[in-house]
Amino acid sequence: MRSRPYTRVVAVAAVAALTATACTAQSEAQHKSKQKAALFKPGSEISYQKYGKSYPATKVKDGPGPCSYESISRKDYSGQTLKIISHAVPVIGEPTQLHAKQFEEITGGKVEVVNVPFGELHQKILTPLQAGQPAYDVMFYPSLWIGDMAPYLAPVPEEYLNTPGMRDVTQSYMDVATWDGKVVQYPVDGDRHYLKVRTDVLKDPKWQAEYKRATGKDLKVPTTWAEYQETAEVFSGKDFDGDGKKNYGSAEVTKRDDLTFSAFISRAAPYVKNPKVKGGVFFDAETMKPLINTPGFVRALEDMVKAKSTWAPGGANFGLGDEIFSFGGGQTLMSYSWDDAFIQAQQPDSKIRNTVQAAPLPGSSEVYNRTTKAWDKKANQAAYFTWGWTSAVAKASSHQEMAFDYLCFFGNEANTALDLTIGRFGVNPYRMSHFDPAFWEKQGWDKDVAEAYVKTLSGMEENPNRVFDLRVPGVNQYMSALANGVAAALAGQESPQRALDGVAGEWAEITDQIGKDKVRSAYRNVVALEDKS
């Protein structure tokens, strides 16, 4: 009877020895770069123009440092191949491809990029990692997946953490990149949800008078969701542009499988993030009981259902791209989500360029207190740091130096300056230097537009009342369940309360399936970010 346990011990020891040998061999097999003469002089002018007419004519200076064109072009990766997986073109997928092509040109290495639709990205990255056979060296994905990805990621080496660009990343986005005290994601984007509004309409005496007649109030940028709804209702169906076509009040991301959950969290944030209550907004951090069906979330879903009357035709099935072009193209008065719609509105050929304003997400006149189980009658506003794109290097990659050099190059000062101005790229401010109005004025933005934009984004960094995405193992299952519940309420299939009761039940089952202790341990990372002031 003792022989079997002993055999298992020997087998485990043998596996451990083989694993150690394999890791050592892998470490020794790490491919390194050779050095060659630089292809660029310090401070060279950088432009994307040669890559196609769809890129801006903007030129910027190559900044100093190890990530610059000058420094990276000294690396010789000829004979080596880097494999990358990224989102579909254009959002984050297009800059991945563009910078891969540039990296090939200046280093001599080969870079293979696979672009995958959002719905397939999680599985195509995680399944090979879990099998111990990573298919890619570099991965671009939503940062909220960190709870699933972290065990398989290589920590960012100190030499890259000390580059000028990395030291410039805001504290919030360094926090987003960190897991269990280690930076395992390489920041390439900083995403927040905020309000966008057409100021040409708000400042027009004709429309000011129209709003005054309808509401008895002065027309202004909404500061609460109630004001947002009222403004959207008044202007939906009106012709702002005098072209005989109807305009509408609000564009929102409502398509079930296209980030609806993020739009809903934006609406819920001021109702559920009570500055007096610590310990999480999605779960009770001690018991892991879901809070998604508590009164604050229900109020937000009730608001979202009311908003349907203000949407453009098809607005009940808008994906992110639809929202970008609806507001960015001038169809709607307002929207809220990522930067992309605002940057689209500010493109050089936009008919509403410099007639738009960024502002904080609408707040509320009261906020639910889950400790007292009552509403606190006080104005509340919460900043929502929604997931954003990130990147990482596989721990098992044998091309880690090349991989981190590629990411270093991707986010160098010249590339980032250009990427920020291309709305479809999905690269949004994540460094302190991006909050300089002068940078945006150089892109042709009016001074007041640039200053409001910078103030809105930087103000979120300073806001102590913050909501971060749910960053736990199984996050895709949780968010899919939430999106289904929101969709059911929007379609009139269930009341908001009943829809979210169903979501809460599914969340409890998901937690039990993954393991309550495992999810709780990860969730405490989220709570620590939200309760940090």
- Cα 428 to Cα 434: distance, rounded to the nearest angstrom: 9
Q: Do domains 28-187+389-427 and 194-386+463-532 have the same CATH topology?
A: yes
CA distance 191 to 338: 6
Q: Which CATH number is associated with domain 194-386+463-532?
A: 3.40.190.10
d(CA 339, CA 191): 7
Tell me the average pLDDT across 148-154.
97
Confidence band of 23 (pLDDT split at 50, 70, 90): very low
| Average pLDDT value for residue range 325-348 | 94
The answer to whether 62 and 39 have CB atoms below 8 angstroms apart is no
Question: In the Cβ-directed half-sphere of 398, how many Cα atoms lie within 13 Å?
Answer: 14
Q: How far apart are CA 178 and CA 529, in angstroms?
A: 11
- How deeply is 126 buried, as exposed, middle or buried, from its count of CB atoms within 10 A (0-12, 13-18, 19+)? middle
List, for residues 162-217, the tens digit of each pLDDT value: 999 999 999 999 999 999 999 999 999 999 999 999 999 999 999 999 999 999 99
* Phi–psi pair at 365, nearest 5 degrees: -90, -5
Question: Using the 8-state DSSP alphabet, how is residue 468 labeled?
Answer: E
Average pLDDT value for residue range 445-457: 97
Question: In the numeric block, which tokens belong to residue 474?
Answer: 């199984």
Determine which helix (DSSP H) or strand (DSSP E) holds 456, and give its type and residue range.
helix 447-462
Question: What Å distances lie between residue 248 and 20, 168, 213, 235, 252, CA to CA?
Answer: 62, 39, 19, 6, 11
> Are 467 and 384 contacting, i.e. CB atoms less than 8 angstroms apart?
yes
Residues 6+ apart with CB under 8 A from 265: 193, 384, 386, 467, 469
Phi-psi region at 145: left, alpha or beta (left = phi > 0; alpha = psi -120 to 50): alpha
d(CA 352, CA 343): 11
8 A C-beta contact, residue 327 and residue 345: yes
The shares of helix, strand and coil residues in the chain, as percent rounded to the nearest 5, are 50, 15, 35
Residue 184 phi/psi, 5-degree rounding, is -115, -5
- Answer CATH for 28-187+389-427 from 3.40.190.10, 3.40.50.150, 3.30.465.10, 3.90.1170.50: 3.40.190.10
End-to-end Cα distance, the chain? 59
- Section 456-469 average pLDDT: 94
Pairing type for strands 332-337 and 248-251 reads: parallel
Rounded to whole angstroms, the Cα distance separating 267 from 88 reads: 27
Q: What are phi and psi of 129, to 5 degrees?
A: -60, -45
Mean pLDDT of 90-110: 97
pLDDT (tens digit, 9 = 90+) per residue, 229-270?
A: 999 999 999 999 999 999 999 999 999 888 899 999 999 999
Tokens of 118: 């959002």
Alpha helix segments (H runs only) across 108-247:
118-130, 146-149, 158-161, 164-167, 171-176, 199-202, 205-215, 225-235
SS3 letters across 125-147: HHHHHHCCCCCCCEEEEEHHHHH
pLDDT tens readout for residues 40-80: 999 999 999 999 989 988 899 999 999 999 999 999 999 99
Question: Are the CB atoms for 420 and 429 separated by under 8 Å?
Answer: yes
pLDDT at 181 (0 to 100): 93
Tell me phi and psi for residue 190, to 5 degrees: -135, 110
Beta-carbon contacts of 466 under 8 Å, excluding residues fewer than 6 positions away, are 172, 273, 382, 383, 384, 385, 460, 529, 530, 532
> Which pLDDT does position 56 carry in this prediction?
83
**Residues in contact with 166: Cβ distance below 8 Å, sequence separation at least 6, in sequence order:** 156, 160, 187
Dump the DSSP string for 350-363.
-TTTTSEEEEPPPB
Phi, psi of 230 (to 5 degrees): -60, -45
Pull the structure tokens for residue 387: 């997931």
pLDDT band with cut points at 50, 70 and 90 for residue 29? low
Q: What is the DSSP string of 243-304?
A: SS---EEEE----TTTTHHHHHHHHHHHHH--TT--S-SSB-TTT--B-TTSHHHHHHHHHH
Q: Tell me the whole-structure pTM to 2 decimals.
A: 0.88
Q: Which helix (H) or strand (E) segment is 438 a member of?
A: helix 437-442
Report whether 524 contacts 285 (CB < 8 A): yes
Task: Specify the pLDDT at position 387.
Answer: 81
What token pair was written down for 221? 């940028």
How confident is the model at residue 533, as a pLDDT? 62
Section 342-346 average pLDDT = 93
Structure tokens at 204: 């027009």
Calculate what percentage of the chain has a pLDDT beyond 90. Answer: 86
- Asked if 370 and 277 count as a contact pair (C-beta separation under 8 A), the reply is yes
Helix 205-215 × helix 225-235 angle, to 10°:
110
What's the CA gap between 181 and 167, in Å, rounded? 17
Q: Is the dihedral of CA 179, 180, 184, 190 positive or negative?
A: positive
Domain boundaries, the chain: 28-187+389-427, 194-386+463-532
Sign of CA dihedral 23, 25, 28, 29: negative
